[in-house]
């Protein structure tokens, strides 16, 4: 396990999959990695819908952790809005098609979008976990543009070959992939790697 001293930003947008965001933040904090969260207004609605908990309740728990910090979606004066503030990169999980379209076109009208834009311009790690199905050609072109700008596009796809037993297994796999894509681990834990043995 590698130790990050610069913070990782977790952007949470309003696609389905709030559990992925919750588990990503939990995993970063378990690893004592400095973590900064920013959540869109739509994501707060999805959070309540999917997790039967308000985002503020999750925030209250995370704020107990000394390595955790958060900023409001409209707080464009937050340090992460500037390229001069060092970060170890950002993951947007889950990533809505609205946020994908904005990032693809350099739109930076809220703190989540601005921070993603900063990661691209500063050539820092940016990982997007886009969630929508099916995808039309505009979604696909936007994702391609972001990939070409240097980001990792990491759809939350199950590894069926690992024979997941439920949502917890799916979530653990995706979060493991995110941790590797952020450069915080070299490889997935052995039980999440394909071994060829069934």
Ligand X SMILES: Cc1cc2nc3c(=O)[nH]c(=O)nc-3n(C[C@H](O)[C@H](O)[C@H](O)COP(=O)(O)O)c2cc1C
Among 24-32, 44-52, 74-82, 158-166, which window interacts with ligand X (CB under 6 A)?
44-52
The reply to whether 15 sits near ligand X by the rule CB under 6 A is: yes
Residue in 99, 85, 89 with CA at minimum distance from that of residue 152: 89
| Nearer residue to ligand X within complex by CB, 46 or 151 | 46
Q: For residue 26, what are the β-bridge partners?
A: none
Question: Looking up tokens 């992925």, which residue turns up?
Answer: 20
CB of 46 to ligand X, least distance (A): 5
Question: With respect to ligand X, which residue has the nearer C-beta, 102 or 184?
Answer: 102
Q: Which residue's CB atom is positioned nearest to ligand X?
A: 14
**Per-residue binding letters, 134-173, with ligand X (x by CB under 6 A):** ----------------------------------------
Residue owning tokens 């990491």: 154
Say whether residue 127 binds ligand X (CB under 6 A).
no
- Closest to ligand X by CB, 14 vs 34, is 14
Q: Residue 53 or residue 193: which is nearer to ligand X going by CB?
A: 53
Rounded distance between C-alpha atoms, residue 148 and residue 142, angstroms: 10
48 binds ligand X (CB under 6 A): no
Min dist CB 45 to ligand X, Å, is 5
Of the residues 24, 35, 40, 142, which one makes contact with ligand X according to CB under 6 A: 40
Q: Which of residues 59-98 bind ligand X (CB under 6 A)?
A: 96-98
Would you tell me which residues interact with ligand X (CB under 6 A)?
Answer: 13-16, 40, 42-43, 45-46, 49, 96-99, 131-132
């Amino acid at each position: 396990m590698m130790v990050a001293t610069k913070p990782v930003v977790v952007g949470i947008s309003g696609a389905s999959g709030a559990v992925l965001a919750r588990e990503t933040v939990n995993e970063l904090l378990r690893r004592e990695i400095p973590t900064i969260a920013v959540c869109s207004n739509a994501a707060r609605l999805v959070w309540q819908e999917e997790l039967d908990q308000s985002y503020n309740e999750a925030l209250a728990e995370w704020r107990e952790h000394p390595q955790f910090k958060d900023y409001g979606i409209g707080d464009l004066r937050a340090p992460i809005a500037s390229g001069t503030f060092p970060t170890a990169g950002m993951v947007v999980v889950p990533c809505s098609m609205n946020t994908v379209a904005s990032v693809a076109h350099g739109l930076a009208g809220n703190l989540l979008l601005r921070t993603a834009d900063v990661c691209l311009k500063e050539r820092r790690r940016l990982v997007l976990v886009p969630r929508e199905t099916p995808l039309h050609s505009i979604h696909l072109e936007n994702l391609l543009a972001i990939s070409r700008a240097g980001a990792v596009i990491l759809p939350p796809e199950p590894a069926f070959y690992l024979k997941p037993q439920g949502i917890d297994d799916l979530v653990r796999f995706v979060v493991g992939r995110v941790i590797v894509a952020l450069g915080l681990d070299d490889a997935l834990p052995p039980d999440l790697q394909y071994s060829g043995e069934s």
